[in-house]
């Protein structure tokens, strides 16, 4: 069900469900996609998940404000690190207060990754006596990585930001917001050595960059390969992978028995 449609007297009766918090951003997505891209995509994924699990989950509205300081030179609306961590903690505290014991942070923006994991650590310490509390974080593209690799036609480096996948999904669901005439490949090239930036191919090291240091046009990947047909496949794969995780989470009891 959608949390926004619940009445306060109903909330305690939902405590045995998994509460899902979709996370997006408001930031540049190259010259061809809107700044609301991440929030739109995770909204589409969340809608499909909720439709498949209506009786088992409670879906929160998408949190559109993300952690995007690396996009400042292009343009974004962003929370700094510490306020974003506290925002995630505050959302989860509120859910715990109404009885939630299983929470999934379903992420749709890469910049939210580190602060979400920091929030998980804070919450684990804060609620250490709640052995039945599971706060899970997952980005939809990591959950669906195997299927995404089957759908894509780009090589490594083709999917990162405003890329083949993201452009395909918006072509499928929000085509009026896509300007394919301006869709051009962007991101790290051969001049940067062996480094290949791809959302499905983690680097063996960590380096913090501002986005304009690695992309002239705000793109990482190959949006010119996008199609609406691929977009439907990507969405189906993301939703199916999220549902699979939720199915697994429902059976989790391992924290309670390890005493």
**Does position 118 have pLDDT exceeding 80, yes or no?**
yes
CATH class of 3-257: alpha beta
- The pTM for the full model equals 0.96
Question: How far is it, in rounded angstroms, from Cα 176 to Cα 186?
Answer: 22
Q: Are strands 220-221 and 159-161 parallel, antiparallel or unpaired?
A: antiparallel
Closest CA to 208 of 102, 95, 69: 69
Helices (H), ranges, the chain: 37-52, 81-97, 113-126, 140-143, 145-151, 164-173, 228-250, 254-257
Name the percent of the chain in helix, strand, coil, to the closest 5.
50, 15, 35
pLDDT tens per residue, range 135-170: 999 999 999 999 999 999 999 899 999 999 999 999
* CA-based torsion, 120, 121, 122, 128: positive or negative: positive
Q: Say how many C-beta atoms besides its own lie within 10 A of residue 227's C-beta.
A: 15
β-strand pairing of 102-107 with 134-139: parallel
Percent of the chain scored above 70 by pLDDT? 97
44-61 pLDDT, tens digit each: 999 999 999 999 999 999
Determine the distance from the C-alpha atom of residue 163 to the mean position of all C-alpha atoms in its chain, rounded to a whole number: 15
Return the bridge partners of 76, or none: 27
């Amino acid at each position: 069900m959608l949390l926004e449609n619940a009445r306060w007297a109903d909330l305690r009766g939902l405590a045995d469900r998994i509460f899902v918090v979709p996370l997006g951003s408001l930031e540049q997505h190259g010259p061809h996609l809107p700044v609301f891209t991440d929030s739109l995509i995770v909204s589409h994924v969340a809608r499909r998940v909720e439709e498949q699990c209506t009786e088992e989950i409670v879906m929160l509205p998408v949190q559109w404000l993300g952690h995007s300081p690396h996009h400042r030179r292009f343009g974004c609306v962003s929370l700094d690190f510490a306020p974003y961590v506290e925002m995630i903690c505050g959302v989860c505290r509120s859910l715990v207060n109404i009885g939630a014991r299983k929470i999934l942070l379903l992420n749709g923006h890469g910049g939210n990754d580190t602060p979400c994991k920091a929030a998980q650590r804070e919450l684990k310490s804060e609620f250490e006596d709640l052995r039945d509390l599971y706060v899970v974080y997952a980005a939809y593209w990591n959950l669906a990585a195997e299927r995404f690799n089957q759908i894509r036609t780009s090589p490594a480096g083709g999917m990162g930001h405003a890329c083949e996948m993201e452009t395909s999904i918006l072509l499928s669901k929000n085509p009026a917001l896509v300007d394919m005439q301006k869709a051009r490949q962007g991101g790290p090239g051969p001049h940067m050595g062996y480094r290949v930036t791809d959302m499905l191919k983690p680097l063996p090291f960590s380096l913090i960059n501002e986005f304009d240091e690695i992309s002239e046009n705000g793109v990482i990947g190959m949006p010119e390969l996008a199609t609406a047909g691929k977009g439907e496949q990507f969405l189906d794969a993301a939703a199916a992978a999220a549902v699979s995780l939720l199915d697994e989470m429902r059976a989790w009891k391992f924290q309670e028995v390890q005493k």
